[in-house]
Amino acid sequence: MNADRPLLEVNALKKHFPIHGGLLGQVTAKVYAVDGVTFDIRRGETLSLVGESGCGKSTVGKAILRLFSLTEGEVYLDGERIDNMRAGKLRMMRKRVQVVFQDPFSSLNPRMRVRDILAEPLVNFGMVHGRRDLNEKVEALMDKVRLPRDAINRFPHEFSGGQRQRIGIARALAPGADLIICDEAVSALDVSVKAQIINLLADLQDELGLALLFISHDLATVEHLTHRVAVMYLGKIVELTDRRTLFAESHHPYTRALLSAVPVPDPTARRQRVILKGDVPSPINPPTGCRFHTRCPFVFDRCRVEEPLLRPVGDGHLSACHLNQVPGGQVLPTAA
Ligand code: SF4
């Protein structure tokens, strides 16, 4: 363990998917799914990756898990480069980085009892010594996610959606993960169950010092869980800062638009909704200059030709917008 470095470092990650066409199946175009993303996560920290569907956030998670190779960039876990690891060492990396997906039903084998679902990673990673040890470890996992021990002989279809997500979390904890990637892990749950799962993740983080990469299309979901937020648009991070700053003093027009859709708890308070025009452009042919310029309410000439870089605009606060360089420009006018 390298205590001076973040647990996870992602440097200039790019993932472009080729599109094959023509008679010879040659590459005719590319999907620029992730196009130069940099961030890190410390032990015990939650970083949320937030953006609309198709912005590349799930591709970032899958690239960290090495479900495919990177086009460019580097990923380090505990100071060790993992994006080019060979198969033998990759196995140890997979023990430390686990994932919880949106749909627990399709990610849990319907023919396996919960006991076997949780036993599988324990056995595969050589973490048990005999049947009694295995049973104790499976029961301890059930305790951790607050499921009754006597449910271990049931099948996934005998549980509710929230309970199935608890099984998914227990399976991710089984190998002793340091980092859990939660890919829209609560998006399919109703509001009260969603809150219970978020509270469970927060408690587990306190207890185990877990780092969480929380991928979500919804800022409201991450508000009570996250330490920092990275907002993605069309394959790039456009703003990255701590939770308080993001919700109180966001700089980027896209973040402002996402925030305007977050419900305000006080019914007497008013928040002006920013309705973005048009759809997210295709990642096959992203706009020149600022990728957000086709929808931005504050677009000006420079935005169409020059890409804004992600620059510091405050302590630990990065934003990619030309308005940040206009004196007073970071205080955005109210959108019409
Ligand atoms: Fe809008 Fe221009 Fe800023 Fe992009 S650079 S977010 S188009 S003002």
Asked, for residue 105, whether it belongs to a domain, the answer is no
Indicate the average pLDDT of the chain. 91
DSSP state of 154: S
Which token pair is 18? 């080729």
Stated as kind and residue range, the H or E segment containing 104 is helix 104-107
Which residue owns the Cα nearest ligand 1 atom 7? 293
Nearest to 103 by CA among 173, 171, 172, 161: 161
Residue 290 pLDDT > 50: yes
Q: What is the pLDDT of residues 313-328, one digit of tens each?
A: 999 999 999 998 766 5
Residue 330 pLDDT > 60: no
Which residues on adjacent β-strands are paired with residue 311? 319
For range 292-310, the mean pLDDT: 96
Pocket test for ligand 1, best of 322, 324, 326, 332 (most atoms within 8 A of CB): 322
Residue 194 pLDDT > 70: yes
Report the alpha-carbon distance of residue 122 to residue 137 in Å, rounded: 8
Identify which has the larger pLDDT, 3 or 174.
Answer: 174
Amino acid at 168: G
Asked whether the beta carbons of 9 and 82 are under 8 A apart, the reply is no
Least confident of 84-98, 151-165, 288-302: 84-98
Least confident of 77-81, 111-115, 147-151, 188-192: 188-192
Instruction: Please give the share of the chain, as a percent, with pLDDT higher than 70.
Output: 93
pLDDT of amino acid 331: 47
Could you tell me the pLDDT band of residue 271, with boundaries at 50, 70 and 90? low
φ/ψ of 35, rounded to 5, equals: -135, 60
Strand order in the sheet with 228-233: 97-100, 179-183, 211-216, 46-50, 228-233, 236-242, 317-319, 311-314
Q: What is the pLDDT of residues 225-255, one digit of tens each?
A: 899 999 999 999 999 999 999 999 999 999 9
Asked, for residue 47, whether it belongs to a domain, the answer is no
Asked, for residue 180, whether it belongs to a domain, the answer is no
For range 127-137, the mean pLDDT: 94
Could you tell me the pLDDT band of residue 277, with boundaries at 50, 70 and 90? confident
Listed in sequence order, the residues at least 6 apart from 72 whose beta carbon sits closer than 8 Å to its beta carbon are 12, 13, 14, 36
pLDDT of amino acid 36: 96
pLDDT of amino acid 336: 37
pLDDT of amino acid 335: 42
Q: Ligand 1 mean position to 301 CA, how many Å?
A: 10
How many domains is the chain partitioned into structurally? 1
Q: What is the pLDDT of residues 27-65, one digit of tens each?
A: 899 999 999 999 999 999 999 999 998 899 999 999 999
Asked, for residue 55, whether it belongs to a domain, the answer is no
Nearest to 155 by CA among 119, 108, 122: 108
Strand order in the sheet with 26-41: 26-41, 8-21, 72-77, 80-81
Range(s) of the domain holding residue 290: 227-336
Pairing of strands 8-21, 26-41: antiparallel
CB contact burial 311-330 (16+ within 10 A = b; e otherwise): eebeeebbbbbbbbeeeeeb
pLDDT of amino acid 326: 67
pTM: 0.92
Which residue owns the Cα nearest ligand 1 atom 3? 321
Which residue owns the Cα nearest ligand 1 atom 6? 321
Report the alpha-carbon distance of residue 330 to residue 295 in Å, rounded: 18
- The minimum-distance atom of ligand 1 relative to the CA of 308 is 5
Which token pair is 46? 């939650």
Could you tell me the pLDDT band of residue 163, with boundaries at 50, 70 and 90? very high
Nearest to 79 by CA among 91, 67, 66, 93: 93
Asked, for residue 332, whether it belongs to a domain, the answer is yes
Q: What is the pLDDT of residues 68-123, one digit of tens each?
A: 999 999 999 999 999 999 888 888 899 999 999 887 777 889 999 999 999 999 99
**Cα dihedral across residues 5, 60, 70, 205: positive or negative:** positive
Report the alpha-carbon distance of residue 86 to residue 89 in Å, rounded: 6
Pocket of ligand 1 (CB under 6 A): 253, 290, 292-293, 296, 298-299, 303, 308, 321-323
Which residues on adjacent β-strands are paired with residue 47? 213, 228
